[in-house]
Every structure is written in C-alpha cells, then in structure tokens.
Structure 1
Amino acid sequence: MEVKPLQKIQQQPWQKYYSDAELNLELPEVSLYSLLHESAVKYGDRPAITFNDKVLTYGELKKRVDCLASSWKSLNFQKGERIGLAVGNHPDYITAYYAAHALGLIVVQINPAYTPRELLQILDDARASYIVVNSRSLQTIQEISDFYTCKYIIGSQIDEEEMSILHMEKLIASGEPLEAPEPIEAKEDVAVIQYTGGTTGKTKGAMLTHFNLMTNVIQCFSMYKEKIILGEETVLAVTPLYHVYAMTGAMNLGLYIGANLLVIEKFDTDEVLEKVKEYRPTMFSGVPKMYITFVNHPKIREYGLDSLKICSSGSAPLPIEVIKKFEDIAGTKIFEGFGMSETSPTTHRNPVHGERKVGSIGIPVPGTDCRIVDSDHNELGPNYVGELLIKGPQVMKGYWNNESETKQALQSGWMHTGDLATMDEDGYFYIVGRKKEMIIFGGFNVYPPEIESILYEHEDIKEAAVVGLPHDTHGEIVKAYIVPKEGRLIDVDDLQNYCYAKLTPYKVPKVFEIRDSLPRNGVGKLLKRLLVKEEMERREEENERSDN
C-alpha cells in the first residue's frame, strides 16, 4: 500500500531548535574519498590514527591510501565492482576503505568473525570481486573456496608464506601515488553495501551512496559543532568500524573534523579504560553493552572518563539507569539518538544546544522529516504510538539486488522503519519497541523496553531482555531473561513482586530465566531472536518427549 501524501506543514515542532542555516544545510555532492583529501590538506601533520601506540598522520594516511588505490588500479580494479572488507578495527581497514572509494569501488562491510555460511551468503549476494582479510577471515574464505572465488584476496597482517593472496603492505610499498581519483556521481554511485536482517530472515544489503554517507557526516557535525574544536578532538574508536554506526559516527565524522582516531581492535574493558586514561579521548560512539560494562567496573572512577565531552549510544535502546550512572561517573551527557543501516545511520539525536530528554531519541537531525502512522498509514498526532517513517537525504538508495524488499521499505520516498514510536508536543521522539517485538498479552500491547527499563533499575541486575512467547490462552506471555551482577543472587519470586510494584499486572513477566550472559552480535547488539529460537526449540523437544 502506498503512503498517503503528507499535507503541507508550515513548521514541524522540532524545527524551532534549529537555525535557518541548520535547516538549510549545504550538502556537497562529493565522494567519500574527498573527505580524506580535504582533511589531509588541512591537517596533514596532525595525528589521524593512533593504534597500538603508533601514530599515523593525515599526510601519511593519505599517501598510503593513494598508493594502495594506485596498485589496485594497475591490477584493473574497476569502478562499481564490490570489495569486501573483513578486517575489523585496524588502520588497514581505514586505508582500504578510502582506497576503494578513490577508485569508485563499492565497499561491502563484513564482520571478520562471520562463519563460512554467513560469509558465503554475503559474498554470493554482493557478487564481490575482491576481499580484504585478516588471519581470521582468511581462514573462513579458504573454507568456502570451493563455492566462491574472488578475483583477488588482499591480506592485512598476514604472514608472508601465504601465497594465495596479495599482501597489503607490499601493494602500498609498490604503488605510486594516485594521479586522480575516479569521477563519482555522488547521488547515484553506491559507496557502501551494509547488510542487515530481512523480513524473511535472509540478509539484505542497504545501498548507501556517497551522498547519503557524506550527508550524514555533515548532519551529525551540525548537531555537535558547538562542542567540537576542529583538528583537536580524539575519537575513541572501539565500536566495530564494519558497522554503519561506527563507520559514520567515529571514522567518517572523525576524519571530517580532523580528529585523532584512537583505534582499538576489540572491546576489552580494562584495555579500553587504560587507553582512555592515557590518551584522554573527547568523543565516543558506544553501544549499550559498552556503557553497561563501564558502569559496572569496580574501579571505573580511576580512569578519567571525564575527558569525554561528546558521547552517543547506538544499535539498541540504552537503559535510563545506565545513562544516569555513566553520567554521574563521567560528568558528561550521553546524547541518545536513533539510526538504521538504511539511513547511513543517524536520523535522530538529542540536541547539544537544546533540551536533552533522557529516554528519548531526541529530534530529527537537520534535513530529516519524520511521521508516525497507524496500520492504515494515517498520520498520528503527539503522544500516539505508531510506526516511525523517515525521509531525508541520508536514506538509502534501496536494497542491493532486492526489489521486493526495497518496495516494502521505501514507499513514496518514506523509509518504513518497523519501529513503534511516539512524539511529544515538543517534537521529541521515543522508541517504544519493534513492531515484530511488541507483545500482545490478552489484547493488551506490551512494549519490552518499558519492562527492561524497570528491570535495569534493580540493584542486582546487570542485563535484562524481555521477549514475547506464544501462549494458548493469552496469545503471548512476557518472559524476562536476567543476568545478575557479579556475586549477586536473585530470587525470582522477589523479582516478580518488584515488577508488580512498578508495572500494571499485564506487563509483569510471567516467566523469568536467570542466565550468565545474553546473546549478542559483534557490535554488542542484543539478539532477542536467538532467545526466542532457543525457547521454541526447547518447547519442541519437550513436546516430542511427552508424545513418546
């Protein structure tokens, strides 16, 4: 069904928080490679990347990118071909990313920890011609060599005896500086394919153009610019760069403002905190798992988190109790927001220069329009719950080689997020839950984030996840999965009584399960579907036993 055209609205309520210049951002139609080029001109001798205590300046980074791109060009890498990056957080990822854009290649983001099945699915769908690998992902791609073959495999941090690959350092050393980058049509040419889950369970690739991604960098900068000193910031880049959130919010934004990217390969709490203490980063794009781990660290106040002045959280809702604890420790605000792989990713953010409403995703970033609609696509007013729709220059071109999913997601220019949200009278938005995750108990709508927020307030709970499970009488029942804090014991009956004191009875979980951990992906995003899958498989086994 097509979305009904919007009636002309003179001013949306959130627009009052922006100046005329912010509402009419200048959005240059340039390639992502030009971002690095311009920063190298402005900040050539300043640190661009710090990794394992080694520093790479903007001038040095630009030279490595140009030499790598030149070597690839001599090997006949062609504009529009797909190149997978399965490296993780490392200077080689950043070098390969911008070298690819210098030649007009399309970057396919790949988690180096993917299983052979997952890697094969993405390479086969994207029809990637090349892939950049580290030792971990090299082993995986070798396992699928009978099913998929790339033209070239480029090795990052790979031992010399590996003869089936091109070594990145050799390519850089042998390449002459690139004479000129490949011409780019910024609004049409795809820069990145970012894979995300599909409605059928099959992964799908969001096509993000150079214009989409550059626009989102400028939109994010416009939200933070009052706190940013160009050429002076240090960005803590520990969230995986192969995820769109860190790719834009840490790497692309960081290089755009001439920041030093403090790149950390993996999230080890003590290691990260030691780097924070030593390098005093000023900006951090984190995910809830990281903030939860920080606030539960026994010596967290000894590491100098007060150096941070801009913190954001993405990939999943951040419990309010965690926000309060972190802000008390660090003395800085977490600017909550919202984004999707399909929107480059940021669409909303609590404004630096306006009111910050804890628990909200803030207001649409400049140049973005939003609406909340019911199941018949009628627009809803403030304080009503419906599906969040988004329109803006950061919204993807479509899904790679998937017209049916594209038509379902993009209707009349509006991105259907699949998220249930509400907007208050001031134009601040609140995510209530995923349409698919909303629980219907006896005809009542139950939104998991509300219950999870209550559970996180409990002094003995470290993590919580709430899901709906099929039930013969009620349609669905609420189940909560709980991870206690270290050394704490939780009595389920006491916990249920605690919930009854804070929630309407139909919202209270009917089942609790205490666990050592919750399933998460490489970015730290909670995978509730795995919890539901485990439960359904367990039920099926129990039914089979009872039948026998």
Structure 2
Amino acid sequence: MLNLATVLEDSARDVPERTAVVHGGLRLPYSMIDSVACQVAALLTARGIGRGDRVALACPNVPYFPFVYFGILKAGATVVPLNVLLKPGEIAYHLDDSGARALFCFEGTPELPLGERGRAGFEASSAELFIVLPATPPATESPYGETLWAALDGVPATYSTVQTNADDTAVILYTSGTTGHPKGAELSHQNMLMNAIISDEMHLRREEGDVYLTSLPLFHSFGQTVLMNAGFRRRATLVLQPRFEPASALGLMRDEGVTLFAGVPTMYWAMLAEIHARGGPVPTTLHSAISGGSAAPLEVLKDFGETFGIGILEGYGLSETSPVACFNQRGKPNKPGSIGTPVWGVEMKLVDPEWNTVEGEGPGEIAVRGHNVMTGYHDRPAETAEVLRDGWLRTGDIATRDSDGYYFIVDRAKDMIIRGGFNVYPREVEEVLMGHDAVSLAAVVGVPDEAHGEEVKAYVIRRPGAELGERELIAWARERMAAYKYPRLVEFRDALPMTATGKILKRELR
C-alpha cells in the first residue's frame, strides 16, 4: 500500500511547527497544511467521492493548492490539475475527458477570472460538485457557488488516509500530442513518489532549513514534483509566487533566504536581464539552480554562473515520466548544453522509427524505461500503444549521446512549440483558427523569441474575397484560447508549401 500524501504527512508528524508555505504575509506550518488537507479529504468522503474517483483542481500557486491536492490524495481519489489559463470550453473538455466528479476552482482576480471561467466550464461538463477557493480567505460566500470554507465548517481536521495501491493513479497530467487533443497521462502513486524521492535525494544539495522559491506553476509536472512534493519530503519551506515576475522573484530570494530555484530558461533569462538593467544586490543564499522545459541557451548558463556564482543544473523529462528522467547530477561533471544522464532506476536509449535500438552517438529518438513511466493515457488505449512497448516510452525527442552517456537534445517532438515553458501544440491552434469564417487554411509554427524561447506564429490563407487583418484574427483567437496558446504573429499567404500528398512543409515556414 502506498499513497503520495506521505510526503506531507511524515513532515507534518515530525516537524509540525516548521513553516511549510509562505505566501505574502502568510506563514503556514506543516501541521496546518496537513489538517486542512484532512478536512478536504473528509469533505470529499462525505460527498460520496473516494478511491478511484477523479477530482480536478484549477488553482495558481497559493496555499489552496497543497490543501486540496493532498486532500484529494488522502481520500484515495485522483488529482486532475488544470492549467489556470484554460478557457471555459477547454475546462469542460478536461473535466469530461478525465471523468472528473468534482472541480475545486480558485475564484481568481480581475486579471485572471478563473472562477468565472471555471464555473462556465463546470456547467458545460458532466462534473457534479463545484467548490470555490475564494480569493479572500476565509470568505464563506462567492458569486460562483459554495466556497471551501463554508463546505469545511464543522468538518473534523483528522482523517485516516485511504490506503491506495502503488499502481493506483495518483495524478492525471494533461499533455498533448500531434493529434492536438489534450490527453491525460496517468501517473501512479509509485511514479510520483519515486520521482519526488529521486528529485530530493539524487539531484539536489541538502541543507537544514532549505527554502524553495516556487514560481513554476504547481499544476505542471515540473513544479509539482521537483518543488512541492520533493520540497515537502525534504521539510523545506515553499515560498509561493502565483505568477513569475523577475524583480519580485529576486526580491523574494533575498528576503526569504531562498536556497533552491527551479525554472525554465526564460525565467533565468528574465532575472539576469533585470539584474543587468537595474542592478541591485544579487541573492547570496542560493545553492541550487535547476532548469528544464527546454534547453537553456549557453549564454544564459554562462551569465548565470558569473552573476550568481553557481551553475545551473539542466535536466529532461516530460509529463509521461513524472517528469524527471535525466539530469546533470551532483557528483558527476556538469556538461553545459547536455540534459545529463538517466536518474537512478531509469534507463534511456535511442531508437529509430521502428523501435530498433540506435547504438553509439546517434542521433535517435529518446526512449525511457523505469519507475517514472506513466501507466498510460486515460481511456486512450490506441495512443498508449503507440508510445509504450515492453515498458519503454518513446518520447518523440531526438537526441545524441556522448561516450560518457550524456544526452544532448537535437530536436523536439515533431512540431511542438515550447513558449515560456508551456507546450503549445500547433494542430490544436490550427483547428481553432480554422473555425473563423474568413480562414481557409492555417499552419502554426514556433519561431525564435528572446523573451519566451519560442513564439507562436500562424501562416494563414484567407477564404476568397474575405477581408481579415492580423490584429483582428489575433484578438479573435485570444478570446478562444489560453493566453500561452494563441498566436502573437500572423502572416497571410496565398499558398503554403506542401508535399505531393498535401502535407504542409512546416520546416519551410520556420
């Protein structure tokens, strides 16, 4: 029997008064995080939701996230974290595709009307229970429905955690593929717990009183495993930043004595740009800096090392691998530009399109096998069979390997765009754009962008006689897609380059 909630429960038992979470003026001890999570579990049980049920959570980096995340796990249910930028139609899709029975949704702010979007998505879905996480705690009323604090009134703060099996699904993380339709990677309690342990034990220097700046979104696998789950296991303090902003991040590092930061390359780029533009003291307590999501430019690695006095350790993974698969680990040479070597208990190899092993340097497609590989895509046996064979997961990422066993990414999975650390799948964007009356055909690609790594660009053929401008189409798309998805660049063409079979040659558009 195994439950991922152990990473919180053990720390709450052993260091109950240690600060687990800092958010603004709030400093919450481990005992409180665990107590509220127990109440959430008891609430779910009372509402008839338990082992094997799916419960969605739409919440930025605020204390509600661990309250509800671990409460769902304690109840034996499966957490379905949702990107907070999703629009109502996208939320409804995720709820129905996962079969979620409930949605815990942050009320939001004028800048991020998550409560409004979540309620609309919920009402368009088959989910049964909607609980509002009010922006002003401990508010008991919300225009969007029953609040968490009203629901928890009188609910006991003790709960006997449901004993789940190691291979029961703990989390469903939504990812996309070349189909453009998001699909849920089912990750077991063992997948997630082992990856948190590996992240804690193998990758990072350990110090009593570690403080993690948690700027990566917790709904994403990187922040969830490497920061929250590994951090709670370490009994560290998590300083929550709901939305990354470089000046604020640097201020929190200095004020809170942050020892560990994990982020995507654009976060490091933005912090360095802030320091070089405005000066100010460089945080001195940082002992670990971790990067993932996409390859960090060598100039950023060099600049950070010179500015902060420590190197950035790069790794590699994906939602389907919980996520960490490969890392530049302590005790081994750090090779800039490399994603390192496979982590403990994980095997990696290069394969060709027919699954044959590629020997030597490669290149080839990365395949991964180990305790971190998902059990499959939720309710998608065909898509699961395409990527899983004999325990091996083919990632779609092309890499080379040197004589020391270090891997180097050559190209990403086909046409996927990584904008600011978020995966954008062109076909999904293309399908939305082609819903516009004036659009005949659309091809979406990623183009280099200094601020976000890549920017989303759409090449569009208008319908005959249609009048449609760049700004008009961008504004239309913005209303229908999450903020990280919609194209900022549109170029109108009379024709697109194609193969003889009619496939658009995107490599000629980049």
Q: State the TM-score, normalizing by the size of structure 2.
A: 0.80
Give the CA deviation at 1:211.
Answer: 0.5
Kindly tell me the number of residue pairs found equivalent between the two proteins: 438
Q: More displaced, 161-170 or 102-111?
A: 161-170
Change (3 A) 1:331 1:120: same
TM-fit CA distance, 1:271:
1.7
Other-structure match for 2:165: 185
Cα distance in 2 for residues equivalent to 1:208 and 1:479: 29
- Give the AA of the match of 2:396: G
Residues 1:241 and 1:539: Cα distance change in structure 2 (over 3 Å):
farther
Tell me if structure 2 keeps the 8 A contact 1:273–1:303. Answer: no
Q: Deviations over 1:505-527 (max 9, x none)?
A: xxxxxxxxxxxxxx99xxx9987
User: How has the CA–CA distance of structure 1 residues 242 and 179 changed in structure 2, closer, same or farther, with 3 Å as cutoff?
Assistant: closer
Contact 1:67 1:171 in 2 (8 A): no
C-alpha distance in structure 2 between counterparts of 1:538 and 1:38, whole Å: 59
2:173 to 194, 206, 210: 194
User: Structure 1 residues 124, 175: CA separation in 2 closer, same or farther (over 3 Å shift)?
Assistant: same
Shift of 1:539: 4.8
Partner amino acid, structure 2, of 1:340: L
1:519-530 correspondence runs (5 A) = none
Alpha-carbon distance, 1:305 to partner:
2.8
* Residues 218-239 of structure 1: CA deviation (Å, up to 9, x unaligned): 11122235x2024x10000011
Matched residue, 2:114: 137
More deviation, 343-352/213-222: 213-222
Deviations 1:113-145 (A, max 9, x none): 211221121111012111111123220133345
Give the counterpart letter for 1:254 in structure 2.
Answer: G
- In 1, the alpha carbon distance for the partners of 2:378 and 2:294 equals 24
- Whether 1:100 aligns to 2:35 is no
| Cα 1:540–1:88 shift into 2, 3 Å | farther
State yes or no: 1:370 paired with 2:348.
Answer: yes
Provide the rounded CA distance (Å) in 2 between the counterparts of 1:58 and 1:119: 31
Contact 2:305 2:311 in 1 (8 A): yes
Alignment of 1:378-417 (within 5 A): 378-417=356-395
1:404-450 deviation per Cα after TM superposition (whole angstroms, max 9, x unaligned): 11000111110000000111000111111124149xxxxxxxxx99x
Are the aligned partners of 2:119 and 2:130 in contact in 1 as well (CA < 8 Å)?
A: no
The question of whether the paired residues in 1 share the 8 Å contact of 2:52 and 2:78 is answered with yes
Structure 1 residues 317-372: Cα deviation after superposition (integer angstroms, max 9, x where no partner): 11111111111111111110001000000000101111000000001000000111
Q: 1:481 to 1:37 in 2, by over 3 A?
A: closer
1:296 partner SS:
helix
- The 1:134–1:538 alpha-carbon spacing in structure 2 relative to 1, beyond 3 Å, is farther
Matches within 5 A, 1:316-355: 316-355=294-333
Aligned partners of 2:123 and 2:43: how far apart in 1? 28
In structure 1, which of residues 221, 241, 247 is the aligned counterpart of residue 200 of structure 2?
Answer: 221
User: Given the alignment of the two structures, is residue 48 of structure 1 paired with residue 20 of structure 2, yes or no?
Assistant: yes
How far did 1:112 drift?
1.9
Q: Is 1:175 matched with 2:155? A: yes
CA distance in 1, matches of 2:309, 2:4: 34
Sort the Cα spacing of 1:539 and 1:382 in 2 relative to 1 into closer, same or farther, 3 A: farther
Whole-Å separation in 1 of the counterparts to 2:490 and 2:180: 16
Partner SS for 1:94 = helix
1:358 aligns with 2:336: yes
CA shift for structure 1 position 208: 0.5
Alpha-carbon spacing, 1:335–1:300, altered in 2? closer, same or farther (3 Å)? farther
- What is aligned with 1:296? 273
Letter paired with 1:186: A
**SS where residue 83 of structure 2 aligns?**
coil
Higher mean displacement: 175-184 or 323-332 = 175-184
Q: Does 1:115 align with 2:93?
A: no
Q: What amino acid does structure 2 have at the position aligned with 1:177? A: A
Q: TM-score, normalised by structure 1?
A: 0.75
Secondary structure in 2 matching 1:32: coil
Letter in 2 for 1:382: G
SS of 2:326's equivalent in the other structure is strand
CA shift, 1:186, in A, is: 1.5
Report how far residue 170 of structure 1 moved: 2.9
Partner of 2:455: none
Kindly indicate whether the alpha-carbon contact (under 8 Å) linking 1:287 and 1:525 is maintained by their aligned counterparts in 2. no
Structure 1: which 5+ residue stretches go unaligned? 1-28, 439-447, 450-466, 468-477, 486-518, 543-548
SS in 2 for 1:306: coil
Partner of 1:205: 184
Relative to 1, partners in 2 of residues 1:303 and 1:86: Cα closer, same or farther, differing over 3 Å? farther
Aligned pairs (5 A) from 1:464-483: 481-483=448-450
Question: Within 5 Å, which residues of 2 pair with 1:367-516?
Answer: 367-437=345-415, 481-483=448-450
Q: 1:484 to 1:165 in 2, by over 3 A?
A: closer
Q: After alignment, is 390-399 or 267-276 more displaced?
A: 267-276
Q: 1:274–1:303: 8 Å Cα contact kept in structure 2?
A: no
2:210 is aligned to 233
Match of 1:391, SS state, is: strand
Assess if the C-alpha contact under 8 Å between 2:119 and 2:144 holds in 1: no
Cα gap change, 1:146/1:222 in structure 2, threshold over 3 Å: closer, same or farther? Answer: closer
Preserved contact between residue 282 and residue 307 of structure 2 (Cα < 8 Å):
no
CA distance in 2, matches of 1:87, 1:413: 33
Matched, 1:258 2:230: no
Distance in 1 separating the partners of 2:341 and 2:327: 6
- Give the structure 1 partner of residue 464 of structure 2: none
SS at match of 2:358: coil
1: distance between equivalents of 2:367 and 2:149?
Answer: 45
Find the aligned partners of 1:191 and 1:265 in 2 and give their Cα distance: 24
- The amino acid that maps onto 2:273 is N
Match of 1:223, SS state, is helix
